[in-house]
Amino acid sequence: MNYDLEYVLDSALDGVFIVASDHRLVLFNRACEELYNISREDVVDKACWKLSDFQQTLDNISNKSGKISYGELGAKTERMVLTHKEGRKVWVETIYTPIFDKESGEIAYVMGVIKDITELKRMEDEKDRLQKELVTIRSELESKYDFSSIVGNSPKIIQALKLASQVAPQNTTVMLVGESGTGKELLAKAIHYNSRRASRPFVALNCSAFPDTLFESELFGYEKGAFTGADKSKPGKIALASGGTLFLDEVTSMSPSTQVKILRVIQEREYEPLGAVRSKSADIRILAATNKQLEPLVKEGTFREDLYYRLFVYPIELPPLRERIGDLPELIESLLKKFHHAMGKSILGISSEALEVLMKYHWPGNVRELQNVIERMMILCKEDRIEVSDLPGYLMDSARMRPYYSQTTGELAEGRSLEDLIHEYERGLMLRALQQCGNNKTKAAHLLGLTRSTFRYKLSKFSPDVSLRAGAGQSRIKNN
C-alpha cells in the first residue's frame, strides 16, 4: 500500500511533500524536484517553519478551550517564484495542511502541495492593471467632463452651467436646447459625471442618424428571431445604459410611433425589445437635446404634446457663440492648450489682429466650427503665434477687413465712414494695449490714459460680453 501511494504521488502533476514533526522528510514526489526545482532542504526548512506556526496556534486554542473543532486549524497558503526545470520562472502556491496523530491529538505531519499558478497570477495582475486603468480613465473622464471644463464667463453660459450643476445630482429628465455645435453633448456628459450614476455608462444616441425601420431596434434592441436575419439577440441603447444615462440627441427626428414608445419608457420605466414577449426594466436617466424650438412642432402636431411635457421638465438653453463672443479669447486659449497636448505643437497665442477677425465673424457652426478652425490653424501656423495670414480666407471675407487707407498711395479707402474708422481704430488700440500689458485691464487703461471703468465701458461696446473677457495671448485677462 505504501508503494502504491508513492507511485500515485510521483505521477501527480503538482508537487507533494510530507514532513514529520521530528523534521524528517517523509515524502518528496518527483514533481517537487523535477518540475519546480526545489531542494529537499528548502522543503524541510519551510515545512518546519509552518509546523512551528501550526503548533503555536494549536497550543493557543488548547489553552483556551481544550477542544479543536473541525476546520479551526485549517490549511495555510504561501506564494513564491520558483525556477522551472526548463529554466523559466514560475509562480507557485504551496498549501500547507497539518495532519494530526489519532491517539495523542498532536500534529504529527505537515503536508505541502505545490501548484503552478503562473497563468492565474498573470490573470490577477492583468485584472489589477485593468482596474487601475479603469480608475484612471474614470478620473480623467470626470475631470474632462467637469463643469469647470466648459469654458466661458458670459451670463448665458454661466446660467446654463448653474442650472446643470443644480440638476446633476437628481434623477430629473433634462432637455438641452441649442444650435448645433454649442456643446449640448459636452454638457450632458458633465451632468452625468457629476451625478450619482457617474460610475455607470453614458450612452448617446443620435435620433437623426437612423431611419425609422432601424431606430427602434437600435434603441430597444431585439430578440433572436425577431425578424429575418436576427440570428442572435442584440441589446439596445437602453440596455447598454442600464444604471446610467441615456442621451437622446436631436429628439425631434423621432417618428410618431417611436415617440409613443419612448414616452412609455419615461413614464413606466420599462420597454420591450423587438420580438420580446415580456417588458424589461429601464433603470436609466434620460437627457435629451434638440436644435429646434419644440413649441411650434407641438402646435403642428409633428411632436407629441405629452412627450414634450415629459422631456421639458428641466430645460437648459445653450447660447450660440455669436451671443457670447466675449468668451472667444478664453475658448481659443483652451483649444490651443488642448491641441498642444494632442499634436505636440506649441502655439503661444494669437495676435490681436487675428483675434479681431475672429471676433467679427458670426460663427454659424458655433464652438464646433471654432474648434475646427483652431485645429487647422495649429497645423498651418509656422510661428509661435497665430497671425492674420494663418486664418482661412472665408473668415477674412466675412470680417470684411478693409484697410483705412492705401499702403501705396496713402489715400483713404472708399466706403468707410469716419465713425467706422474711429471705431475700428479705437478697438485695435485697446486690444493692442491689453496684449502689451499681459491682458491686465488696469495697466491697459493706464497706458491709454483712461480710468479702468471708462476702459471697461468702451471695451463692452465692441461685443456683448467682451467687458468680462477680452484680449488674447498666453494668459487670461486679469480683473485687477
Task: Say if CB 10 and CB 30 are below 8 A apart.
Answer: yes
> Which pLDDT does position 139 carry in this prediction?
64
> Can you tell me the mean pLDDT for 74-87?
77
Task: Using the structure block, give the residue that is written with the C-alpha cell 419615461.
Answer: 266
Mean pLDDT for 169-196 is: 93
Q: What is the residue whose three cell numbers read 496684449?
A: 435
- The closest alpha carbon to 472, from 394, 385, 362, 389, belongs to 385
Dihedral, 459, 463, 469, 475 alpha carbons, nearest 10: -90
**DSSP code for 32:** I
pLDDT 10s digits, 367-385: 999 999 998 888 888 888 8
Task: Among 15-24, 153-162, 317-326, name the one with the lowest average pLDDT.
Answer: 15-24
DSSP 148: G
Q: What's phi and psi for 312, nearest 5 deg?
A: -90, 35
pLDDT on residue 99: 82
| pTM assigned to the model | 0.60
How many CB atoms neighbour CB 469 within 10 A? 24
Domains contained in the chain, CATH given = 2-121 (3.30.450.20), 145-319 (3.40.50.300), 322-460 (1.10.8.60)
- Spatial CB neighbours of 214, under 8 Å, sequence gap ≥ 6: none
Q: How far is CA 299 from CA 58, 74, 123, 290, 296, in A?
A: 84, 76, 60, 17, 5
Is residue 66 pLDDT above 70, yes or no? Answer: no
As a whole-number percent, the residues of the chain with pLDDT over 90 amount to: 25
CB 325 within 8 A of CB 470: no
- β-partners of residue 93 are 79, 115
pLDDT tens readout for residues 110-153: 888 888 888 898 998 898 888 887 776 666 655 566 777 788 88
In contact, 180 and 365? CB cutoff 8 Å: yes
The size of the chain, in residues, is 480
CA distance 366 to 318: 11
What cell numbers appear for 416 in the block?
Answer: 468707410
- Cβ partners under 8 Å of residue 188, min gap 6: 174, 176, 202, 204, 245, 247, 287, 289
Q: 169-181, pLDDT tens digit by residue?
A: 999 999 999 999 9
Q: What is the mean pLDDT of residues 324-345?
A: 85
| Phi-psi category of residue 52: left, alpha or beta, with phi > 0 → left and psi -120 to 50 → alpha | alpha
